[in-house]
A and B are shown apart, each in its own frame.
Chain A
Amino acid sequence: MEKNENTFTEKVESILDELFAEDDETAETVEESAHVGYYPLRFLKATVLSIDWEITDEVMGRFIDQVERLKEAHQEDKTILPLLQMLGSTGQHIRIFKENAHPTALKVLKSLYLSLEKVMSETAPSEVEKSRLLFREIRKFKALKAQIVEGNLALANRVKPAVVQAASPVEETAPVVTTSDDGDGNAILAAIAELKQFVETEIRQLREEIQSLRTSA
């Protein structure tokens, strides 16, 4: 019997080794690949990476502080400064509206950051490429701004006061569905309720976006 037990585990483990065998390239250890160098954007990058749907005042406050600090350092730069300015105001919008910020705002923020990273990298692009990059970001930023303004207008026409509506975090105030686990039924119902809530929020945001596109057309 003992022997049997060992062969069972051994057999499964050897199958696993075969299934998930890796070439040396990926087997490299983290320690080996890690090396820390000076990197002027590292704090900003860490903050950008931690901005997600659980956006807090703390994270956004830190983000804006870091943008301000970088602005100080790059007052003279014709590409970096406008990128930072746009990052700052997109960050402000997200800070105020949190989960209800315009869905595109996070994308614009990330895109702005990536462009900033490119422009500030050691192998900086040519001047022509830089201005092309900046131009592209400005266009995205302006489109976002227009969408936000129109979205607010559309909202204001339907429900007032607009500010209260926009600032009330739909998903946060949603009733927290608690389940005492007296069977699969309740737990699954609660999960479906979460899903439903999400879909409703999503649809409402889509409607608002369509509405704002209509009014701008």
Chain B
Amino acid sequence: MAFINPKTKEVQIKIVYYGPGRGGKTTNLEYIYSKFNHRIKSEMVSLKTHGDRTLFFDFLPFDIGKVMGHTLKVQLYTVPGQVKYNATRRVVLRGVDGIVFVADSMKVVREKNLLSLKNLHENLKDYNRSIFRVPLVLQYNKMDLAEQGIPLLSYERLEKDLNTQLKVPSFPASALRGTNVAKTLKKIISMTLPSLQRNLKKEVVN
């Protein structure tokens, strides 16, 4: 799926952070940007409402270097999680190579995780893509809230709710603190590599 430009020898990998509103998608990108910007040297683009909700999407592109004669570029996107912005989510999903589903671990929003995952499933179907085949990682976010005694869904509960059928890699995380944020990102990029490599090979053969 990755976009290969034979002229410039550039390859683009598109990663989308998906999940319920206020789950922490933007916070993931903000952490990556603030923590690693001295190395990835990039700009982050965000369009937010006055309530700090993502309106259109967030965008963070960066280069990872030259491999097999091609410059590898990664683009991170977040979608707006609010239910009403589905058309925007669909546009952002177009041509996606890998998805991070950011679930909110708070007990009170359990239902929202399920609805959002279902929405992802449906939106992918409209592009004739299957949620069971797209590289996908689950991130169970806001685990740090346990310290304050806030009722959270356990890791096991979240696995049962969201990962019973998918069986994809999953990480408990705190986007606010950065716990497992980089791990999540590295994992999802790695998962897009096999298909990228196949396409690159075709490119080399042609």
Interfacial residues, chain A to chain B (CB-CB below 8 A): 5, 8-9, 11-13, 15-20, 22, 26, 28-30, 33-39, 42-43, 45-47, 49-50, 52-54, 59, 103, 106, 171-172, 174, 177, 179-181, 184, 187-188, 190-191, 193-195, 198, 202
- Which residue of chain A has its CB nearest to the CB of B68? A8
| Shortest distance from the beta carbon of B37 to any chain A beta carbon, whole Å | 11
B94 within 8 A of A: yes
In contact, A53 and B91 (Cβ under 8 angstroms): no
In contact, B56 and A47 (Cβ under 8 angstroms): no
Find A53's partner among B35, B82, B143, B190 (CB 8 Å cutoff).
Answer: B82
- Which residue of chain B has its CB nearest to the CB of A174? B84
In contact, B149 and A37 (Cβ under 8 angstroms): yes
Give the residues in chain B near A50, CB-CB below 8 Å.
Answer: 22, 106, 108-109
In contact, A26 and B179 (Cβ under 8 angstroms): yes
B150 within 8 A of A: yes
**What are 9 sample pairs from A and B whose C-beta atoms fall under 8 A apart?**
A20-B36, A20-B182, A26-B35, A34-B144, A35-B147, A39-B149, A53-B82, A179-B87, A202-B50
A-B contacts besides A13-B186, A26-B35, A191-B90, 5 pairs, CB < 8 Å: A12-B67, A15-B67, A20-B36, A26-B179, A103-B51
B40 within 8 A of A: yes
In contact, A13 and B178 (Cβ under 8 angstroms): no
Alpha-carbon distance between A47 and B197 when the two chains are bound, in angstroms? 46
In contact, A17 and B186 (Cβ under 8 angstroms): yes
- Which residue of chain B has its CB nearest to the CB of A20? B182
B174 within 8 A of A: yes
Find B107's partner among A29, A45, A46, A179 (CB 8 Å cutoff).
Answer: A46
In contact, B197 and A5 (Cβ under 8 angstroms): yes
Find A54's partner among B21, B35, B143 (CB 8 Å cutoff).
Answer: B21
Give the residues in chain B near A46, CB-CB below 8 Å.
Answer: 106-108, 145, 150-151
In contact, B84 and A172 (Cβ under 8 angstroms): yes
B126 within 8 A of A: yes
Alpha-carbon distance between A17 and B172 when the two chains are bound, in angstroms? 20
Contacts A12-B72, A13-B186, A22-B178 given; does A195 touch B55 at CB 8 Å: yes
| Shortest distance from the beta carbon of A178 to any chain B beta carbon, whole Å | 8
Return the 3 tightest CB-CB contacts between A and B, nearest first: A190-B87, A42-B149, A20-B182
Alpha-carbon distance between A142 and B182 when the two chains are bound, in angstroms? 44
Give the residues in chain A near B127, CB-CB below 8 Å.
Answer: 181
In contact, A191 and B49 (Cβ under 8 angstroms): no
Give the residues in chain B near A194, CB-CB below 8 Å.
Answer: 84-85, 87-88
In contact, A30 and B174 (Cβ under 8 angstroms): yes
In contact, A20 and B82 (Cβ under 8 angstroms): no
In contact, B36 and A53 (Cβ under 8 angstroms): no
In contact, B87 and A9 (Cβ under 8 angstroms): no
Alpha-carbon distance between A106 and B53 when the two chains are bound, in angstroms? 13
Give the residues in chain A near B168, CB-CB below 8 Å.
Answer: none
Contacts A12-B189, A53-B82, A195-B56 given; does A187 touch B179 at CB 8 Å: no
Contacts A28-B179, A46-B151 given; does A16 touch B64 at CB 8 Å: yes
In contact, B88 and A191 (Cβ under 8 angstroms): yes
| Shortest distance from the beta carbon of B23 to any chain A beta carbon, whole Å | 10
In contact, A8 and B84 (Cβ under 8 angstroms): no
Give the residues in chain A near B173, CB-CB below 8 Å.
Answer: 30
Give the residues in chain B near A33, CB-CB below 8 Å.
Answer: 144, 147, 177, 179
Contacts A13-B190, A52-B21 given; does A191 touch B109 at CB 8 Å: no
B133 within 8 A of A: no
B146 within 8 A of A: yes
| Shortest distance from the beta carbon of A192 to any chain B beta carbon, whole Å | 8
- Which residue of chain B has its CB nearest to the CB of A206? B50
In contact, B180 and A195 (Cβ under 8 angstroms): no
In contact, A12 and B149 (Cβ under 8 angstroms): no
B148 within 8 A of A: yes
| Shortest distance from the beta carbon of B91 to any chain A beta carbon, whole Å | 5
B193 within 8 A of A: yes
Give the residues in chain A near B200, CB-CB below 8 Å.
Answer: 8
